[in-house]
Amino acid sequence: MTICSRSMTKYRVGRVAELLGVSPDTVRRWADEGRFGARRRGGGERLIDGADLARFLTDTAPTAPESPVIESARNRLPGVVTQVEKDGLVAVVHLQAGPHRVTSMMTREAADELGIEPGDLAVAVVKSTNVIVEVPRPR
């Protein structure tokens, strides 16, 4: 549970553990070590200060490995190009990324510049503001 007030957001130990992917005991230990602020309520329950938690997350965030490509998308699916279809101004590139088949439509010029051919290693970068919801087919 998260407790919000006008002055500050506070989190219960269990919620912080869930957010960080660690055990509640680890959160308690970190609070005892002073990694983030925690105050005890009447029954002894600890509440973690939201601003201190944010500072902790910022200070301990892993750095991304160096990459020759600057990219903001997080969904990167490495795979193998299985088919390249070029027709007029458009190219359709099919990529098999593990169990996923990814299809990308681009300009023919872009496909020519990339020099993509079946068998090439490629990375499908998925970045979208839309989410499509599917339901199972009736049996």
Q: Domains plus CATH for the chain? A: 2-60 (1.10.1660.10), 75-126 (2.40.50.100)
Question: What is the pLDDT, as a whole number, of residue 116?
Answer: 87
What's the pTM? 0.44
Give long-range contacts, CB 8 A cutoff, 24+ apart: 83-86: 83/118, 84/111, 84/116, 84/117, 84/118, 86/111, 86/112
Mean pLDDT (the chain) is 80
Q: What share of the chain has pLDDT > 70, as a percent?
A: 78
Question: What is the pLDDT, as a whole number, of residue 2?
Answer: 46
The more confidently predicted of residues 39 and 9 is 39
Lowest mean pLDDT among 10-19, 50-59, 130-139: 130-139
CB crowding 65-93: b at 16 or more within 10 Å, else e: eeeeeeeeeeeeeebebeebeeeeeebeb
CB of 75 closer than 8 Å to CB of 125: yes
Tell me how far apart the alpha carbons of residues 124 and 95 are, in angstroms, rounded to a whole number: 8
